[in-house]
Amino acid sequence: MSKETEKSNDAAAASATGSHALQFGTAWQYESATEGTDHFEIAERYDLFVDGEFVAPQSGEYFATINPATGEPLCEVASANAADVDRAVAAAKAALPGWKRKSGDERARYLFRIARILQERAREFACLETLDNGKPIAETRDVDVPLAAQHFFYHAGWADKLDLLFPGRVPVPVGVIGQVIPWNFPLLMAAWKIAPALAGGNTVVLKPAETSPLTALRLAEVFQQAGLPAGVVNFVTGDGATGQALVRHPDLDKVAFTGSTEVGKDIQQAVAGRGVDLTLELGGKAAHIVFEDAAIDQAVEGVVRGIFFNQGHVCCAGSRLLVQESVHDLFVRKLARRMERIRVGNPLDKNTDMGAIHSAAQLARIEELVAAGVDEGATLHQSSCELPGQGFWFAPTMFTNVALSHRIAREEIFGPVLSVLTFRTPEEAVEKANNTSYGLSAGIWTDKGARILWLADRLRAGVVWNNTFNRFDAASPFGGFKESGFGREGGRAGMRAYVRLQDGLSAG
Ligand code: NAP
Ligand code: MG
């Protein structure tokens, strides 16, 4: 067991694999040999964040959020009903005129302040995200939290330069934005959505996923600490019904959603004909293409990162490996060896590579698809690692002898499961890569620059990584083609989704 985290008010160490139940109102102590000790509280109960304050839900209802690594509850969170959503939207609407009137420079200062506070409280956020989500602390510490802060810094930079971004046009705020996010990157998705909205002069009501609400609620504390005016951002926690109530609210000017393609389609219908702007970031089944001339060992690392990062709970995961036939056997042998070395276990241990599957429901979905892969005749390879006895776990898994018609090659598994297919020519690689209803991302490993450009031109995917995978940056737009959705987040294109452009004459 890791010594990294101990429940400071309890002599018994809180281990991801330990057996004692957590008490609500737990104080956590996060220790690192190099970084000192941090201490933070998880309250017994969290209310909704509306109009700058935490308020009890009119529904009167609360639900538990659990630690996926133990299956035990962390605390209770308010469940927002339609009346609660209405109150939050009213707060965002009331805050809009004041927020719109602020100069870009003033809005930038708030965003900078939020980014700085996030950096100062980074270890607390990393630890909390790991507890609520199940992902390894090394990822929350090095990816989720720093990138969330980066999104606030980056958009602070645009807040007072929107006129430069849209030359000859007058950018005006869209208005009140309803945002719904999934559980796989809870803090990061909130930052992706909130930072450009605020930079553009909009106000927000955001619904976090039911199973991972805690970092959004802590972000609300950061907003209070930063002095963000009341009502500019509101959080309504709850399940899918809360999300439904939000996206259907008549006072929204835009809806931004990240989640499954199925729910995305439902939202598209819900907002149709209402004059509401919409951006959808949905599922994916990315092709990760490896040519025989690639640096093979680096490509193996890239493929491992592509599918096992965040337990494969990644919309842009490289879940379909297309490897050139001539190097298939070598590549699969190396991958199988590398898979054995992935350390699966306590997410709070900084040496852990792969943490817990996020929920019982997600684990059941992964198990169902893996069983389908075996039934359909693909060959299963699984790491022999030992899995903890409590909580939700799945070993790193790979299928060879996969056909394009198999469910494991077509459906998003959203777990640590790689499907390996082969190709002979670049043309065949493109054809197989594009043979999917999704189009979020793709990856190419080859030594030839010209080949990268040739492929990138032909791949129907919003993001194409070359000799790397799963790299993110606030300056780089992210979004899909086809059933992976529309609209971009990040970069100039992402900012465009949070303003409306008027024609006007500029002074001078
Ligand atoms: P999900 O079921 O679509 O849920 C996403 C969010 O929508 C959650 O907050 C959910 O609430 C809420 N919701 C559920 N039904 C709703 C409805 N009818 N109307 C409005 N909101 C509703 O997806 P998930 O299982 O949480 O996340 C996994 C999916 O997200 C994967 O398909 C993945 O590819 C996709 N994803 C895409 C991106 C991207 O950028 N393209 C990024 C991350 C994830 P509950 O939490 O209560 O269910
Ligand atoms: Mg949780």
Q: Please report, for residues 39, 87, 139, 275, 404, the alpha-carbon distance to residue 3 in angstroms, rounded to integers and kept in the order given.
A: 14, 44, 18, 54, 45
Q: How far is the CA of 182 from the centre of ligand 1 (A)?
A: 4
The ligand minimizing its distance to the Cα of 73 is 2
HSE-up of 52 (CA within 13 Å, CB side)? 11
Atom of ligand 1 nearest to the CA of 183: 26
Cβ neighbours of residue 36 closer than 8 Å, sequence gap 6 or more: none
The ligand minimizing its distance to the Cα of 131 is 2
We report the CATH number of the domain holding residue 254 as 3.40.605.10
pLDDT band at 17 (very low <50, low <70, confident <90, very high): very low
Task: Give the pLDDT mean for 408-433.
Answer: 98
Residues 351 and 244 reside in one and the same domain: no
Atom of ligand 1 nearest to the CA of 266: 18
Task: Give the pLDDT mean for 409-425.
Answer: 98
Residues 243 and 339 reside in one and the same domain: no
Residues 149 and 50 reside in one and the same domain: yes
Is residue 495 a part of any domain in this protein? no
Residues 58 and 188 reside in one and the same domain: yes
pLDDT band at 20 (very low <50, low <70, confident <90, very high): very low
Residues 260 and 368 reside in one and the same domain: no
pLDDT, tens digit, 9 for 90 and up, residues 351-395: 999 999 999 999 999 999 999 999 999 999 999 999 999 999 999
Is residue 480 a part of any domain in this protein? no
Q: How far is the CA of 248 from the centre of ligand 1 (A)?
A: 16
We report the CATH number of the domain holding residue 418 as 3.40.309.10
Is residue 82 a part of any domain in this protein? yes
Task: Give the pLDDT mean for 234-247.
Answer: 98
Is residue 507 a part of any domain in this protein? no
Our mutation pick for probing the ligand 1 site, out of 260, 311, 482, counting the most ligand atoms within 8 A of Cβ, is: 260
Residue 506 has pLDDT above 70, yes or no: no
Nearest alpha carbon, ligand 1 atom 12: 240
Per cent of the chain over pLDDT 70 is 92
Taken as a whole, the chain contains a residue count of 508
Residue 53 has what DSSP assignment?
A: E
Give the whole-angstrom CA distance, residue 356 versus residue 268: 32
281 is catalytic: yes
- Looking at the structure of the chain, the number of domains it has is 2
Decide if 70 contacts 390 (C-beta within 8 A).
Answer: yes
Task: Give the pLDDT mean for 64-93.
Answer: 97
Kind of pairing between the strands at 176-180 and 441-445: unpaired
Q: Which of 6, 315, 411, 412 is catalytic?
A: 315
pLDDT band at 507 (very low <50, low <70, confident <90, very high): low
Residues 313 and 239 reside in one and the same domain: no
Residue 236 has pLDDT above 80, yes or no: yes
Q: Please report, for residues 32, 58, 68, 388, 462, the alpha-carbon distance to residue 130 in angstroms, rounded to integers and kept in the order given.
A: 15, 30, 9, 16, 29
Residues 310 and 171 reside in one and the same domain: no
Q: Provide the pLDDT for residue 24.
A: 61
Q: Provide the pLDDT for residue 11.
A: 32
Domain boundary among 282, 314, 333: 282
Kind of pairing between the strands at 53-55 and 27-32: unpaired
Residues 271 and 293 reside in one and the same domain: no
pLDDT band at 172 (very low <50, low <70, confident <90, very high): very high
pLDDT, tens digit, 9 for 90 and up, residues 432-441: 999 999 999 9
Residue 491 has pLDDT above 80, yes or no: yes
Residues 196 and 223 reside in one and the same domain: yes
Is residue 4 a part of any domain in this protein? no
Residues 114 and 53 reside in one and the same domain: yes
Nearest alpha carbon, ligand 1 atom 2: 260
The ligand minimizing its distance to the Cα of 262 is 1
Task: Give the pLDDT mean for 169-173.
Answer: 95
Q: Is 435 helix (H, G, I), strand (E, B) or coil?
A: coil
Q: How far is the CA of 229 from the centre of ligand 2 (A)?
A: 29
Mean pLDDT of the chain: 93
Q: Which of 124, 210, 281, 412 is catalytic?
A: 281
44 is catalytic: no
Domain boundary among 282, 305, 338: 282
Is residue 500 a part of any domain in this protein? no
Q: Provide the pLDDT for residue 162.
A: 95
Residues 232 and 350 reside in one and the same domain: no
Q: Provide the pLDDT for residue 8.
A: 38
Is residue 506 a part of any domain in this protein? no
Q: Provide the pLDDT for residue 105.
A: 97
pLDDT, tens digit, 9 for 90 and up, residues 82-100: 999 999 999 999 999 999 9
Domain boundary among 250, 282, 314: 282
Q: Is 445 helix (H, G, I), strand (E, B) or coil?
A: strand
Per cent of the chain over pLDDT 90 is 90
**Per mean pLDDT, which range of 123-127, 222-226, 358-362 is the poorest?**
123-127
Domain encompassing residue 152:
44-282
Q: Provide the pLDDT for residue 29.
A: 67
Give the whole-angstrom CA distance, residue 100 versus residue 177: 13
Is residue 26 a part of any domain in this protein? no
Q: Provide the pLDDT for residue 503.
A: 85
Which of left, alpha, beta for 52 (phi over 0: left; psi -120 to 50: alpha)? Answer: left
Nearest Cα neighbor of 236 from 245, 227, 228 is 245
Q: Ligand 1 — pocket residues by CB below 6 A?
A: 180-184, 207, 209-211, 239-240, 243-244, 247, 258-260, 263, 266-267, 281-284, 315, 412, 414, 440, 480, 485
Atom of ligand 1 nearest to the CA of 239: 47
Q: Provide the pLDDT for residue 31.
A: 58
Atom of ligand 1 nearest to the CA of 440: 41
pLDDT band at 30 (very low <50, low <70, confident <90, very high): low
Residues 230 and 123 reside in one and the same domain: yes
